[in-house]
Structure 1
Amino acid sequence: MKFKRTLLATAVMMATATQAMGEETVKTGKASMLDQVTVTATRTEKQLKDVAASVTVIDSEQIEKEMARNIKDMLRYEPGVQVGSEGRAGIKDINIRGLGGNRVKIMVDGISQPQSFDSGYTYLESQRNFIDIDTLKAVEIVKGPSSSLYGSDAMGGIVAFTTKDPADYLKPEGDDTYGSIKGGYTSADEGLTETLTLANRTGDLETMLVYTRRDYKETETHGGANITGEARGQANPLDAGSDNLLAKAQYQLNDDHRIGVTGEFLQSQTDYKLMSDKYLPSTTKGDDKKKRSRLSFTHEWDADLAAFDNLKWHLDWQDSTTDQKTTIPAYGSYNDRIKKYDYSETSYQLGAQLDKTLELSGLTHHIIYGFDVVDTEFTNDQTTLDLGNNSSSKENIIPKVDSLTYGIFAQNDIQVTDRLSITPGIRYDHYEYKPKSNSGYTTEQKDTKEGKLTGRLGAVYKLTENLSTFAQYSQGFKAPDLIDMYQTMDNPAHGYKQLANPDLKPETSDAFELGLRGNNHLGSFEIAAFYNKYKDFIDTVYLPTAPGYWQITQEQNISEARIKGVEIKGQLWLDEAINAPMGTSLKASVAYADGEGKQDNAKSEPLNSVAPLKGVFGLAYDDPSELWGSELTWTLVKSKSSSDVSNNEVSSGNEQYVPSGYGIVDLTAYYKPHQDITLRAGLFNLTDKKYMEWDNARGRDTTYVGFDRLTQPGRNVAVSAKWEF
């Protein structure tokens, strides 16, 4: 426990130091982390210090400083958040406070992103992270249930990506043109990146174009034998490339109306050698293609009417596809085969939000209300070509499904006194699934519909000018995934069967959070404690076997869970605190969580989805000239104890493998030799530490022979150059 006490003590001392100078605020011109603005947390612009929730905002400047190449890199320094390991389909999921997968809502410019699933077969999976980070203005992470504002999938939290606008590059007024070229290299995956950005304002019309090309190979591991088979110590070879195009046009019709059109297109292609799959020959090859396209129309109206002051509405079309082709050489009783799997989601999304500020009974009310409607068609096809017999077969693990979901919401931010604000909110959601008949899916089909009401109550109270506390109660729910409801597999040759269950109920949650914040000329801090309880979790049930089958399974609502924890983060201006050189700062964050769950009346078991204790400390210097700067970041992760680990995810009788704790050091720096040129460099895992992340070890028992293949890169570098014109 020494590691835990050291981290917590350090963070608490740092937080306490920001209050050492009393209540008087000294204007320094420095923006603290609590001064950042969030829109997602309350659906309206608010500084973090005024929000009754734990929220993290990562802006484009921070993304560039940390030299992130993907979502995993972008979130690596955020305790309480872990990004799943990279599978064949890409980064699997984002986990917030112990919940991940489709229980975390992911949005791009307010548009819900596709679902992910993992069938257990290497040739049958999909992911939902169809985003290129060079297009991002910011990412907001709302921790904890947020269904009262965003409906289903927001049971664990929200990750909201916001793409850049033309105004982010142009001067505040008048005609203007901007352009930039950026190139980068990362040694961990031999990655090359090129980004072109163009923006223009002519009169009342603003336009923007951002294009990014990426080429990369597999992310290296920290050593291990370069052999075939499950014991392979190096990553499976891959060769990948992607193109991403973001185009925007926004027009100010008059003083009250503004419209915008956005087009976005991402495509990627990856060629694999699946050398470490224990169920397939080591010469198996994969060829995957992924695409996401969207077209959006937005309208903003400053109306100043009795019913609303402002109206924002949007209409979106989005199409995402994952195509997997697996070429499998002959083995055992099988001939040479090709397995093709295609999965797509096509959706139309309509949403509107209205805002009204008014005075009632001496109190200021900021009311927002609106609705969301999403109509989605899900399709999937699985084709097996037997090259030896020159035959083919086709099946669908789920039917074609039409999904219609809609929600209506209302929230009232009440300024009760100068010190106290209270924010109640409520939302009703309804979803309908209508499976369609198709020849590849023969299981009996059944329509499903369900409604759910969720609420939230939050409050912020200012104890002093510099110190405030917040509390909230929030509810969440998660509609069943299609793969849980409809997936069927019947393989008598191998003796297993999976049954559909269209009668699944939504998963639900209740969450409580209490926090303390401080902010003055020395810095800022936030301490938050949370307790989340979940019911009707959907989990796999092993049913009685039948002749010819050794395993029959079905997804059912059988589990409940609870997760509790504490998170601390702070920022200290060392130039103010200890008279360090101007521009020197220290930041720290620590996250600890503990969780357990159980099925029906069984004994409670630890939740392996909860990340181990993690702390991040950063020492930074930004020269007052803004020409150069550097940051040294130290990440510490504690090993899980045996009492925090369940063996339910490994084979009966075996023990879950628990990787050792670790500490890694990263160093980044930037330099501007000219006002239009920025050079950046990063040295990651500076001490060449060999380590494995907990999420990579999950589900592996102590007899597994391929742990070296699951390690993270050793010492690696990244460089980039950007020219603005």
Structure 2
Amino acid sequence: MNFHNAIKTRSTAAKVSCLVGMSLSASALAATHALAEEAADYDGTEIEEISVTATRGESDVFTFPGAVSVISKDEIDARIAASISEIFASTPGVQFDGGPRRTGETPALRGISGEGVLVLFDGVRQNFLSGHDGRFFIEPDLLRSAEVVRGPGSALYGSSAIGGVIAFETVDARDLLGEDNQFGYRVKGGFQGANDEWLYGGTVFGQSADGAYSGLASLSFRDSSDINLARGADLQGDDEIASGLVKFSAQVSDDLKLDFSWLKFNNDAREPNNGQGISTGDLVDKDIRSETWRGGLTYNPDSDLIDLGIVAYTTRARVDEAELDTTREISRRVKTYGFVADNRSKFALGGDASVTFTYGGEYYRDEQVGLDNTTADGTRGGVPDATSETFGAFIQADFAIPTAIGGFRIIPAVRYDDFDNTSDRDASLNSSDGATSPKIGISYTPTDWLLLFGNYSEAFRAPSFNEIFADNLHFVIPAGPGVFAPNFFVPNLDLQSERAKAFEFGAGLTFEDVATDGDKLVIKGSYYDNDVTNLIDLEVNVEFSPSCFAPIPGVCTSGTSRNVNTASAEITGFEIEGQYSSDYLYLSAAYATIDGTDQDTGDFVGILTPNRLNLVGEVKMPAQSLRVGARAEFSGALTKVNDPANERRAYETVDTYLVWQPTEGPLQGLRVDMGVNNIFNANAERVFAGVPGVNRNFRTTVSWTSSF
């Protein structure tokens, strides 16, 4: 999906999480495990304080000069999330289009979507991308955390991070084992009423007596029917999903650790070819298959100079579609192979000042095959058989400098990427380029409760082989009785990378022991301005050939389509979020707004959203092992559209939830999550004008975890 095509729908969410980044390397993953173990004894919602990812290493989230959020497993469970979009339902700057079907969901970060958003599973790139088939082939119940870095991130992550990064980490044995236990199991079941969906699954896990070896195996299933909408008829959305996860790790020595994982996702659905549409026509049997193999190495001796992580991986994703009314069968298959390595070296600079260098490299290769049984050669229009290779190298310095007038944190970074696209159908079609992506962020804390920060970054998105080599049939136009004129894709080897230059400025406040001992209040907000040039858009030229209307020799055609660099966009926005947490109360509030205009024409561009306020209130009752809360979303009307038909009304939704998790006694290990989403049945048009949101939805899950 290109940038301009993403204009069609606008909606945002707002979440109050101040702040945790994303983990890529094996050593960063190990740090996350340690944090998870520390948090395991906490029963309730709290404010995160440590990031292990925004800088590819442990980082204080409050002083990080940017916008990063983390959603913990506890919050994922409390949301009873059945899809990835529900995890981010309250995260500012994050929008999901294409719902409410899972297979249509596509993310946007601060107005940029499609290939401008990088998605990672346990540090592994998920490069499958289709306009109608979704991007998130993973079961929410398998996740330990979901993280999002908002704003250009090419300085560390290269292409596809022009809008930001969404990263997921899956659970492992240490997240589920009780203290001093070696083996355990978890069983879980659930139901939600809006689509009559049942969830059931089980997990086994364990570790050796000395803790050097650990492993986990998990399997879950979902089975659902049509989706009940707040207005109108039900939405065709039958789904049968099977998900699996296998993990194993070995602490070979005090310094060296190896780990391995296999992640599998199968989804059989019956829905329209365009999973983002509400039409019940043109139904297909859609089979989605995805698997990720990952191996990691962490080497961390007793040295400030070596903290090494290496991840090697391969992913395979495919979507096969069989039309019910015809014999046509189409397929898109993408394989990705790659590795990423990084190391951290820390140096003292005198006094309490220090600097940590993070540096490394990355290589990945994508291979795509498109199939269509109705074409002469079996190839699929718009899905070229092609290969892409990318190599990147990066370095970052993280300076911590205390002074008499306050503390400074300065984080410069730069990355160089070299990328090459080759058509597998025609070796003469080749496109190569390179890009340098610098970034610098500065935080200043004049007191221990006040933060001022800013950052400047440059980012890029390399044109994909889908955009460069698109060929074959695009669509057909009737030109007369019995006459049909095809329009064909045309490759464009001169397509240039999209480029971005972004500024962000913000401030934060943090206080402890505000009303009671041990409570905490955090507020952080920022304004950003992102200028994106060389936007890639699909240019469609409709021009009928003379043979369509007269007995003239030749082939009847209706013109060509190709991807071209077009306009420049300026995207600006403001986000502010705050959290308060104590032993008995959790409160959060977030407000976000965004604007995007074509600098040449003044038209609206990007995934723009209405102004939106999200509120969360939760009462904790430790003596009863109970938490009760409510979430409210207040959305203004969407008027930032080029076509008045795409305007959407304001709406308000309210959800309620309850978590009961006994911490002692015979019921220890039980967790019950219950809730009702959209209790007043509001017509929340979040994704498209005329597409109602999901009806009032009762949801519940029950799990039992035991270890011995």
Give the TM-score band, short-chain normalised. 0.7 to 0.9
The TM-score, its normalising length taken from structure 1, stands at 0.82
Paired letter, 1:411 = Q
Kept after mapping to 1: 8 A contact 2:398/2:411: yes
Give matches, 1:595-634, under 5 Å: 595-598=596-599, 602-607=600-605, 609-625=607-623, 627-634=625-632
- The amino acid that maps onto 1:289 is D
1:431 corresponding residue in structure 2: 419
Q: CA RMSD in A?
A: 2.6
Q: Quick one: distance in 1 between partners of 2:608 and 2:170?
A: 30
Find out whether 1:394 has 2:378 as its counterpart. yes
Alpha carbons of structure 1 residues 436 and 550: separation in structure 2 relative to 1, 3 Å: closer
1:38–1:140 CA contact under 8 A, matched in 2:
no
**Deviations 1:327-369 (Å, cap 9, x if unpaired)?**
22xxxxxxxx322111111121111111100124664110110
Cα distance in 1 for residues equivalent to 2:54 and 2:114:
20
In structure 2, distance between residues paired with 1:433 and 1:256: 39
Where does 1:639-678 land on structure 2 (aligned, <5 Å)? 639-641=637-639, 644-647=640-643, 655-672=644-661, 674-678=667-671
Match of 2:518 in 1: none
Distance 1:56 1:671, change over 3 A: same
1-structure distance, mates of 2:372, 2:430: 23
Does structure 1 residue 189 correspond to structure 2 residue 195? yes
In 2, Cα distance between the equivalents of 1:346 and 1:115?
8
What is the aligned partner in structure 2 of residue 353 from structure 1?
A: 342
- 1:86: how far off? 2.9
Alignment deviations for residues 110-154 of structure 1 (CA, whole Å, 9 cap, x no partner): 111023222xxxxxx432211111111111110000000000000
Change (3 A) 1:712 1:287: same
Q: Determine the structure 2 residue equivalent to 1:264.
A: 263
- What secondary structure sits across from 1:115 in the alignment? coil
Q: Deviations over 1:655-687 (max 9, x none)?
A: 433121100110001223622212121011111
Q: Can you list the C-alpha shifts for 1:285-309, whole angstroms capped at 9, x where unaligned?
A: 3111111112211111113568x32
Q: What is the match of residue 388 of structure 1?
A: none
The alpha carbon displacement at 1:192 in A equals 0.6
Q: Which one of the candidate residues 477, 496, 502 is aligned to 1:511?
A: 502
* 1:267-318, Cα deviation, whole Å (9 max, x unpaired): 11112377999999x7643111111112211111113568x32111011121
Q: 2:463 aligns with which of 480, 486, 500?
A: 480
Q: How far apart are 1:218 and its partner, in Å?
A: 2.7
User: Alignment partner of 1:79: what SS?
Assistant: coil
Larger mean CA deviation between 614-623 and 392-401 belongs to 392-401
> Aligned equivalents of 1:597 and 1:250: distance in 2?
50
| 2:315 aligned with 1:318 | yes
Counterpart pick for 1:471 among 444, 447, 454: 454
How far apart are residue 32 of structure 1 and its match?
8.7
* 1:378 aligned partner: 368
Return 5+ residue gaps in structure 1 as ranges: 1-10, 12-28, 119-124, 225-232, 329-336, 386-391, 439-443, 576-581, 648-654, 698-706
Aligned partner of residue 494 in structure 1, secondary structure? strand
Give the conservation status (yes or no) of the 8 Å contact 1:587–1:618: yes
Partner of 2:364, secondary structure, is strand
Check the 8 A contact 2:124/2:294 in 1, yes or no: no
Describe the superposition over 1:521-554 as per-residue Cα deviations: whole angstroms up to 9, x where unpaired.
2311111111111010001224473525555332
Distance 1:222-1:303 versus aligned 2 partners, 3 A rule: same
> Structure 1 residues 464 and 481, CA, compared in 2 at 3 Å: closer, same or farther?
same
Residue 572 of structure 1: how far off its partner (Å): 2.7
Which of 100, 105, 122 is the equivalent residue of 1:92?
Answer: 105
Alpha carbons 2:336, 2:364 under 8 Å: kept: yes
Structure 1 pair 371/81, CA: closer, same or farther in 2 (3 Å)?
Answer: same
2:174 pairs, out of 151, 161, 167, with: 167
Counterparts in 2 of 1:283 and 1:407: CA distance versus 1, 3 Å: closer
Looking at structure 1, the residues matched to 165 and 281 of structure 2 have their Cα atoms a distance apart, in angstroms, of: 40
Residue from 80, 85, 94 that aligns with 2:93: 80
Matched, 1:219 2:227: yes
Structure 1 residue 689, shift from structure 2 partner: 1.5
* 2:219 corresponds to 1:205: no
Alignment correspondent of 1:340: 329
Structure 2 distance, partners of 1:626, 1:134, is 25
Cα displacement string for residues 158-209 of structure 1 (whole angstroms, at most 9, x for unaligned residues): 101111122112246x552221111110111111111212211113111111
Aligned: 1:415 with 2:415: no
- Where relative contact order (Cα < 8 A, 6+ residues apart) is larger, the structure is 2
The 1:518/1:313 distance shift into structure 2, 3 A limit, reads same
User: What percentage of residue pairs aligned between the two structures are identical?
Assistant: 21
- Matched residue SS, 1:338: coil
Q: 1:327 aligns with which of 321, 324, 327?
A: 324
Q: What residue is the counterpart of 1:300 in the other structure?
A: 298
Change (3 A) 1:279 1:45: closer
1:612–1:33 CA distance, 2 compared to 1 (3 A): farther
Contact conserved, 1:304 with 1:310, CA < 8 A, in 2? no
Give the AA of the match of 2:500.
Answer: S
Mapped contact 1:102–1:115 kept (Cα < 8 A): no
Partner of 2:13: none
Distance of 1:133 and 1:519 partners within structure 2: 31
Looking at structure 2, the residues matched to 61 and 420 of structure 1 have their Cα atoms a distance apart, in angstroms, of: 33
Q: Contact 1:33–1:524 at 8 Å: present in 2 too?
A: no
Residues 499/274 of structure 1: CA separation in 2 closer, same or farther (3 Å cut) = closer
CA distance, structure 2, for counterparts of residue 61 and residue 516 of structure 1? 28
**Contact map agreement 2:384 2:466 (CA 8 A) in 1:** no
Aligned equivalents of 2:573, 2:454: Cα separation in 1: 15
Matched residues in 2 for 1:278 and 1:515: separation? 38
For the structure 1 residues 34 and 375, does the alpha-carbon distance in structure 2 shift closer, same or farther, using more than 3 Å as the test?
A: same
Contact kept in structure 1, 2:101 and 2:275, CA below 8 Å:
no
Match of 1:538 in 2: 536
* SS state at 2:62 partner: helix
Query: CA 1:277–1:530 in structure 2 vs 1: closer, same or farther (change >3 Å)?
Result: closer
Matches of 1:137 and 1:276, distance apart in 2: 28
CA distance in 1, matches of 2:535, 2:306: 41
Which amino acid is the alignment partner of residue 685 of structure 1? N
Q: Equivalents in 1 of 2:673, 2:276: separation in Å?
A: 38
Query: How big is the shift at 1:37?
Result: 2.5
Q: What TM-score results when the alignment is normalised by the length of structure 2?
A: 0.84
**1:9-28 map, 5 Å:** none
- Shift in CA distance, 47/194, structure 1 to aligned 2, threshold 3 Å: farther
Deviation of 1:375 after TM superposition, in Å, equals 1.7
Give 1:201's aligned amino acid. Answer: Q
Q: Which residue of 2 aligns with 1:558?
A: 566
Partner of 1:252: 251
Q: 1:226-237 alignment to 2 at 5 Å?
A: 233-236=233-236
* Runs of 4+ residues over 6 Å off in structure 1: 29-33, 273-280
Moved more, 625-634 or 527-536: 625-634
Aligned pair count reads 630
2:492 alignment partner in structure 1: 501
Q: Which residue in 2 is equivalent to 1:569?
A: 577
The match for 1:106 is 119
User: Match of 1:496, as an amino acid?
Assistant: N
User: Closer, same or farther in 2 for the Cα pair 1:30/1:724, shift >3 Å?
Assistant: closer
Amino acid at match of 2:605: L
Matched, 1:682 2:678: no
